[in-house]
Amino acid sequence: MVEKSEKVTDKQVYLNRRRFIQAAVMAGTATASTLLYRHLNPPPAQQVKGDKLQEVAKAPTQKALKEGLAVNDKLTPLEAITNYNNFYEFDTSKSGVAYAAKGFVTRPWAVTVEGLVNKPKVFDLDELLKFPLEERIYRLRCVEGWSMVIPWIGFPLQKLLEKVEPTSQARYVAFQTLLDPERMPNQRTGILEWPYVEGLRLDEAMHPLTIMATGMYDEILPPQDGAPIRLVVPWKYGFKSIKSVVKITLVADEPPTTWNIQAPNEYGFYSNVNPNVPHPRWSQATERRIGEYGRRDTLLFNGYGEQVAHLYEGMDLVKYF
């Protein structure tokens, strides 16, 4: 007969210990999984507040609706507009831009307007903010298939271009975003060619619907939406509306544009919203309005056909997509 040694653990103690270890393993792995999930898939950041802009003219009159200066669609909430952004200079995840762009310094800021003009000029931001500001309630249609309705505040680009007097050789307008990897951290990566550049034909740039926006919802433009000044062309896919502009150049030939450089067969120079010309990898026939379930039909020229269709008369919109 063997004496029960003190070294042999009592069965009950053994079982208790086993249970304790199991509980610890379960709790430990569950905590690790939770942290890992939270790290990989963080909930979108909270809203970033802006400052009030100067008083602006209120738009939605019948005349404004007729001219396309406003639409009757329900406005997209500010929180959505400020937390769902494509701005690759900061982050390629739409929900991550607001956080990554927090604290982006926009002063001092100047916009150089040069090229084929009689009076080239460097505009200080304060000077630009003195242009009479208007509210424009525009639909914004992203090439990815979602849309918003945004109450912009800004002034027609036309007003700015008139000041520098384009020469008769000027046929296109080229735009450039700030290039500063210190302030725009994602410019250290090679996801796109930096700086971001865009372009319009001169008549598109001079169209009364084309504006330089400096705010929205009566507030200063927040960084994630293109502070301090950006282009808004409501009948083209969103990527044409270049953000945080530092340079505008009047040129004779069609300027290079960033997404067209990236994938020429997917993103054309014109990039007018057109439900009949599919993107090579997805349809453009419908869109999801942020805040709505299901999808709605996409409108030709994003619904601004009455105002802009004449710009493209006789042009093959499939060839010049």
Partner 1 sequence: MTFPKLVVFVNSLIPLVLLLWDLYHKRVGPNPLDFVTKTTGMLTLIFLSLTIAITPLRKIFRINSLVKIRRMLGLFAFFYGALHLLTYVWFDRLFNLISMGQDIVRRPFILAGMTAFTLMVPLAITSTNKMVKRLGGKRWVKLHRLVYLSAIAGVVHFWMLVKADIRLPLTFAFILLFLLGYRLIERYTPTQQPNVNPFPRE
Would you tell me which residues interact with partner 1 (CB under 8 A)?
A: 22, 25-26, 29-30, 33-34, 37-38, 40-41, 43-44, 76-77, 79-81, 83-84, 88, 92, 94-95, 143-144, 146, 191-192, 262-263, 278, 281-283, 285, 288, 290-291, 293-295
Locate all alpha helices (DSSP H) within 114-184, ordered by sequence: 125-128, 157-164
Least distance (Å) from partner 1 to the CB of residue 115? 28
Least distance (Å) from partner 1 to the CB of residue 113? 29
Please, which residues have CB within 8 angstroms of residue 284's CB and are 6 or more apart in sequence? 143, 145, 273, 274, 275, 276, 277, 278, 298
Q: Is the peptide bond before 132 cis (omega within 30 degrees of 0)?
A: no
Least distance (Å) from partner 1 to the CB of residue 125? 28
Least distance (Å) from partner 1 to the CB of residue 302? 19
Question: What Rg value do the Cα atoms of the chain yield, rounded?
Answer: 26
Least distance (Å) from partner 1 to the CB of residue 240? 14
Least distance (Å) from partner 1 to the CB of residue 191? 5
73 beta partners: none
Nearer to partner 1, 241 or 307 (CB): 241
Nearer to partner 1, 32 or 315 (CB): 32
Nearer to partner 1, 37 or 320 (CB): 37
What is the CA 112 to chain-centroid distance, rounded? Answer: 22
What is the CA 87 to chain-centroid distance, rounded? Answer: 5
Tokens 């735009």 belong to 175
Give the 3-state secondary structure of residue 208: coil
Nearer to partner 1, 46 or 167 (CB): 46
Sign of torsion over alpha carbons 235, 312, 267, 233: negative
Query: Which is nearest to 308 in space by CA: 68, 72, 71, 60?
Result: 68
Nearer to partner 1, 54 or 276 (CB): 276
**Residues 52, 71: Cα–Cα separation, whole Å:** 23
Nearer to partner 1, 95 or 112 (CB): 95
Least distance (Å) from partner 1 to the CB of residue 29? 5
DSSP letter at 273?
A: -
Give the 3-state secondary structure of residue 87: strand
Least distance (Å) from partner 1 to the CB of residue 16? 15
Angstrom CA distances, 122 to 42, 119, 127, stand at 41, 10, 10
- The identity of residue 256, as a single letter, is P
Nearer to partner 1, 54 or 286 (CB): 286
Nearer to partner 1, 28 or 132 (CB): 28
